[in-house]
A and B are shown apart, each in its own frame.
Chain A
Amino acid sequence: MTPRPVQGRSGTPQPSAGRRRAQPLSHLRPYVQAGSLILFIVLVALAWTLGDRRSWANLFFRLDPLAGAMGMLAGRRFLPALLLSLLTIGLTWMVGRAWCAWICPLGTLLDWTPARQQPSAAFGPESPWRRAKYILLIAVAGSAIAGSLTLMLLDPIVLMTQTVGRVFLPLLEQVFSLLERAGFAISWTRPLVSPAVNLLRGTIFPLERHFYGGAVLTGLLFAGILALNALVPRFWCRHLCPLGALLGLLSRAAWVRRRVDASCIDCGHCARLCPTGTIDAGRVYASDPAECTTCLICQAECPVSAVSFTWGSIRPAPAQSYDPTRRQALVTLGVSLIGMGLFRSSPNTDLRDPHRILPPGGRENDLASKCIRCGLCLKVCPTGGLQPAFPRTNGQDLWTPVLVPRMGYCDYSCHACGQICPTGAIPDIPLDIKRTVIIGKAYIDTSRCIPWSEGRDCIVCEEMCPVPDKAIKLQETQVMTAAGQPVMVKLPHVERERCIGCGICEYQCPVAGEAAIRVYSPVVERG
């Protein structure tokens, strides 16, 4: 993306060659943005491949001050890994909301999405709707104080991680899968496909396609956010983004401020170009530091070089008409606290769901208050068994991870979810200890199990059981068939105290549909 050309706009004065300065910084911005977006996607895509270094796959969450602040607020604990976001806070205090224009992967995509160039007056520099993002931020904070991080799904990094992990990469996998099948069908392309499979399958793409609950919802939410560009460029950043609001608050005291000097010829070019539309032609082209993303387009495009970004005072920026009033802020806070209280007072039958299997260590943690819903654990899970929860009675646990053994088991040789979790909601447990963590208990449905109900040997569950001395034992027993014939058959039994609930027995059970051996949550807590 290059800045929009000056030519072709009626009434725009042509820059005089002599006064035009080189603007290296502003021209770097598309490259920085693209680099940041690519890094973001690569980190999500390589989440599994990075192996024991995969804690760096959550780099963007470490840099995200909203994730850090809310994670600590709701979790009531200190998260040292998230202190890297002090860098972002420092950057914002120096140069304002530069994160939004230079680093944020969602902002970059919004920049690349076509947008309405002459928005209606309702979205002008003083649009009261700019208040909405502050209201959302207060709501996120209020529910975090009340102990829920569900609203963190509005954090742009969370949104992007979910979208890349659950929508973009699975779509890419489908394309790859098509090419793969076509490639293997034709003999001369086979030598080309094999190296690609070696490189991509089992690394950035799973060996077998993974399916994610809520993928359509995530995709629609993301598409909706992009589609809001049809109202006004970067609608999301101006009006909704809670991270943008937080950075905006910090930017009010930013050192570097945008200035317009007296040589301004009142052409209005900068006001038309500003991606967040904060340059107010009615106020001598002044802007609100809380809205300005320091993209430097106005400086680069000013025909008379009247715009500059210079070190200024640390005096806070003047208040704006769209800033939330104290009353609005308090009402929002109150409403979010009461709302969370109402959620709490309604019965959460999902917690009593016997099939609610949580990743190792997740049961000991309260996921609602510690999980920021980023979905990295779902992406990294090599079996695709971790799925976003979609609660039926209570929003508190929305999109926290649950293990659905019929879709994928908890691999005995893997503790990737704990390694990648940015907030430690899934604790990083060493592999040898993780192998002993009980996440559920398997029970055999003897009315459907092949040996029990049909008198035929099967044993897949016993074969698959990864526990060294096998939590599933086969007892050779004489049973009567329905026809009255006595037969010897190996009947599987679960040795309950050995079972860790990994669910590979349920995953591999050859009985069609619902498995004949199923994992249930080990104990019923709360509720």
Chain B
Amino acid sequence: MKYITSRRKFIRSVACAGLGLAGTALLQACGAPATPVLNRITLEPSPTAIPSAAPTRTHTPGAPAAPPPSPSPMGISPTRAPAPSTALPYLAVVRGASAEEITRQAVHALGGMGRFVKAGDEVIIKPNICNAYHGPEYASTTNPEVVATLVKMCLEAGARRVRVMDFPFAGTPQKAYETSRIGPAVQAAGGQMEVMSKANYRQVDIPAGQAIKRWSIYGDALDADVLINVPIAKDHGSTRLTLGMKNLMGLVLDRAGFHARGLHQCIVDLNTVLRPHLTVVDATRILVANGPTGGNLDDVRVMNTVIASPDIVAADAYAATLFGLTPADVAYTSMGAERGLGTADLTRIAISEIEL
């Protein structure tokens, strides 16, 4: 029998390749900082609300708008330029029958996707695809049209690549992507669905953390130029609602550890290092009971609403009102505001409400 190579040559080449890889890994370990700098968006509520060009009913808060929430207390990732040049609404709420249109209008009202995504950016979009049980009409997973529209807008803004991912707690990701119909929609829009590998999480320091000081977070979400958070607003047994801040839990490796250490505090701690540049809350349909899994259409309310803001706390605070709750009812929201992650006081920010 003829062999391609001799045994000795084969062993030698395997050893060389192994040494090379080990060397590269070593060099990298010496060089890279452990905690990446994440946020590039300035959290800056506009001093006064400016009516947007679209047919809107801009509701200007009675009191003069507050100064920006205390910029970066110790340990919270610094923000990045560019600041919006003209005064833009701090939060946009758009209602209308077409999920694509209201998503477009909401981002447009905030200054367009170009404010968040620059040409050549790597974008990661994190919807809520919590399991493979039901289609989007059951409101347990983010509306596929909302996600696909954001993918399109990112690509239009010049993104190099847009990846969409979640780590479902039940069922395989492929099946969950298919059942939620987010997979096909994203692919049609030109984005990529990614299976999150357990090997791609990194230990990250959480200097401002109170319950957790170090946790494993999905590496690519840390490395991405832009992270867009697209939760669906729905009922949740312990936190009352799962919204934007809670949705980021999908990017950590050990979720049971959050429960064991106090869910709300851990969610806030996570949000001090994982700072999405834009949060778009999908409230086209909301799940008002038996969440987060759902499965009963009686628990679904059609709201035809999308809420967008660079401030994750403000977006969550507004979303809570759709359930007849206040931000204080969803503890991580008010705790996040206290920690300086954003503002939960809806009377102090400029909100652009648009009806289509």
Taking beta carbons and an 8 Å cutoff, which residues of A are in contact with B? 48, 177, 180-190, 193-194, 197-198, 201-203, 207-208, 382, 409, 411-414, 450, 456-460, 462-470, 474, 490, 504, 508, 510
What is the CA–CA distance of A198 and B174 in the complex, to the nearest angstrom? 9
> What is the CB-to-nearest-CB distance from B98 to chain A, in angstroms, rounded to a whole number?
28
With known contacts A413-B179, A462-B237, A464-B293, A203–B171 Cβ distance under 8 A: no
Contacts of A177 in B (CB 8 A): 199
Interface string of B8-30 (1 = CB under 8 A from A): 00000000000001001100100
Candidate in B133, B170, B219, B294 with the most chain A CB atoms within 10 angstroms: B170
A48 touches B172 (CB 8 A): yes
Stretch in B48-56, B190-198, B305-313 touching the partner: B190-198
- Which residues of chain B in 163-212 are interfacial with respect to chain A, using CB atoms and an 8 Å cutoff? 169-175, 179, 193-195, 197-200
A465 CB contacts on chain B under 8 angstroms: 293
Q: When the two chains form their complex, are residues B199 and A463 in contact, meaning their CB atoms are under 8 A apart?
A: no
- Taking CB atoms, residues of chain A closer than 8 Å to B262 are 456
How near does chain B come to A48, taking the closest CB pair, in angstroms? 7
B174: chain A residues within 8 A (beta carbon): 202-203
Contact of A490 among B169, B193, B238 (CB under 8 A): B238
Interface pairs (7), CB distance under 8 Å: A180-B197, A183-B199, A185-B28, A189-B21, A207-B198, A382-B175, A412-B170
Contact of B170 among A413, A457, A460 (CB under 8 A): A413
- Whether A194 contacts B194 by the Cβ 8 Å rule is yes
Select A382's contact among B169, B172, B195, B257, beta carbons within 8 Å: B172
Residues of A within 8 Å of B195, CB to CB, are 197-198, 201-202, 207
Instruction: Give the complex CA separation of A253 and B220 in angstroms.
Output: 65
Give the contacting residue for B290; candidates A456, A470, A510; CB below 8 A: A470
Cβ–Cβ contact A184 & B236, under 8 A: no
B173 near A207 with CB under 8 A, answer yes
User: B238 contacts which of A193, A411, A457, A466 (Cβ < 8 Å)?
Assistant: A457
CB atoms of A186 and B131 under 8 A apart: no
In contact, B295 and A463 (Cβ under 8 angstroms): no
Contact yes or no, A201 B132, CB < 8 A:
no
Are B170 and A208 closer than 8 Å at their CB atoms?
no
Number of residue pairs across A and B with beta carbons under 8 Å? 123
Flag whether B292 is at the interface (Cβ < 8 A). Answer: yes
| Most chain B beta-carbon contacts within 10 A, residue among A202, A412, A467, A470 | A202
Question: In this assembly, does B259 line the interface, its C-beta being within 8 Å of a C-beta of chain A?
Answer: yes
Determine whether the beta carbon of B237 is less than 8 Å from that of A463.
Answer: yes
Residue of B nearest to A209 (CB): B198
Query: Which of A182, A460, A467, A508 lies in contact with B25, CB distance below 8 A?
Result: A182
| Interchain CB contact (< 8 A) of A411 among B171, B257, B260, B290 | B171
Residue numbers in A under 8 Å from B4 (CB-CB): none
Closest Cβ of chain A: how far from B2's Cβ, in Å?
11
Is B133 touching A413 in the complex (CB atoms < 8 A)? Answer: yes
Query: In the complex, are the beta carbons of B296 and A413 less than 8 A apart?
Result: no
* Chain B residues, Cβ within 8 Å of A183: 199
Closest 6 CB pairs of A and B: A468-B295, A459-B238, A202-B172, A510-B256, A468-B296, A413-B132
Rounded to whole angstroms, the CA-CA distance of A183 and B132 in the bound complex is: 29
A184: B residues at CB distance < 8 A: 197, 199-200, 219
Contact residues in A for B290 (Cβ distance below 8 Å): 468-470
In the bound complex, do residue B295 and residue A197 qualify as a contact, i.e. CB atoms below 8 Å apart?
A: no
Beyond the given A458-B260, A464-B169, please list 11 additional residue pairs across the A-B interface where CB-CB is below 8 A. Answer: A181-B199, A185-B25, A187-B32, A190-B200, A194-B200, A194-B220, A202-B195, A412-B131, A413-B170, A459-B237, A463-B237
Chain A residues with Cβ below 8 Å from B173 are 201-202, 207
Give the chain B neighbours of A186 by CB distance below 8 A. 21, 24-25, 28
Bound-complex Cα distance A140 to B354 (A): 74
- In the complex, are the beta carbons of B237 and A490 less than 8 A apart? yes
**Contacting pair B259 A207 (CB below 8 A):** no
| In the complex, residue of chain B having the shortest beta-carbon distance to the beta carbon of A2 | B1
When the two chains form their complex, are residues A463 and B198 in contact, meaning their CB atoms are under 8 A apart? no
Complex formed: what's the CA distance from A182 to B272 in Å?
Answer: 29
| Inter-subunit contact B171/A382 (CB<8 Å) | yes
Complex interface bits, B261-305 against A, C-beta within 8 A gives 1, otherwise 0: 011000000000000000000000000001011111000000000
Which residue of chain B has the shortest Cβ distance to A451 in the bound complex? B238
Within 8 Å by CB of A469, from B28, B132, B171, B296, lies B296
- Residues in B neighbouring A510, C-beta threshold 8 A: 256-257, 259-260
**How far does the Cβ of A156 sit from chain B's closest Cβ, in whole Å?**
27
Query: Is the beta-carbon distance between B256 and A508 smaller than 8 angstroms?
Result: yes
Bound complex: CA A198 to CA B194 (Å): 6
List chain B residues, Cβ under 8 A from A48. Answer: 172
Shortest C-beta distance, B257 to chain A (Å), equals: 8
Q: How far is the CB of B138 from chain A (nearest CB, A)?
A: 9
Q: Give Cα A504 to B256, complex, Å.
A: 13
**Which residue, B25, B237, B257, B262, has most C-beta atoms of chain A within 10 A?**
B237
Residues of B within 8 A of A208 (CB): 198
Q: Which residue of B lies closest to A462 (CB)?
A: B237
Chain B residues within an 8 Å CB radius of A198: 193-195
Shortest beta-carbon distance, B260 to chain A, in Å? 5
A414's partner among B171, B236, B257 (CB-CB below 8 A) is: B171
Most buried by A among B21, B25, B169, B259: B259
Complex Cα distance, B236 from A463, in Å, reads: 7
- Residues B238 and A463 in contact, CB atoms below 8 Å apart: yes
Residues on the A chain within 8 Å of B220, using CB = 194
Distance from A195 Cβ to chain B, minimum over Cβ atoms (Å): 9
Nearest chain A residue, comparing its CB with the CB of B294: A468
Given A412-B170, A490-B238, is A193 in contact with B259 using a C-beta cutoff of 8 Å? no
Given contacts A180-B199, A508-B256, contact A466 B170 (CB under 8 A): yes
Once the chains bind, are B198 and A409 in contact (CB under 8 Å)? no
Which A-chain residue is minimally distant from B32 (CB atoms)? A187
Q: In the complex, how many angstroms separate the beta carbon of B231 from the nearest chain A beta carbon? A: 15
CA of A183 to CA of B179, assembled, Å: 30
- Quick check: B172 and A508 within 8 Å, CB to CB? no
A460 and B249 alpha carbons, distance in the complex (Å)? 14
A458 proximity list for chain B (CB < 8 A): 238, 259-260
Count chain B CB atoms within 10 A of each CB in A177, A466, A467 and give the residue with the most.
Answer: A466
Whether B238 pairs with A467 at a CB distance below 8 angstroms is no
Q: Is the CB of A187 within 8 A of B28?
A: yes
User: Smallest CB–CB gap between B36 and chain A, Å?
Assistant: 12
B256 touches A207 (CB 8 A): no
| Chain B residue at minimum C-beta to C-beta distance from A507 | B170
What separation, in Å, do the CA atoms of A464 and B219 have in the docked complex?
26
**Quick one: closest B residue to A201, CB to CB?**
B195
Flag if B28 contacts A182 (CB, 8 Å). Answer: no
A192 smallest CB distance to B (angstroms): 12
Contacts of B32 in A (CB 8 A): 187
Q: Which residue of A lies closest to B168 (CB)?
A: A207
Cβ contacts under 8 Å, B296 to chain A: 468-469
Q: Are A460 and B256 in contact (CB under 8 A)?
A: yes
Residues on the B chain within 8 Å of A197, using CB = 195, 197, 199-200
Which residues of the partner chain A approach B294 to less than 8 Å between Cβ atoms? 468
Whether the pair B170, A411 counts as a contact (CB closer than 8 A) is: yes
CB distance from A260 to the nearest CB of B (A): 30
| Contact indicator A182/B21 (Cβ below 8 Å) | yes
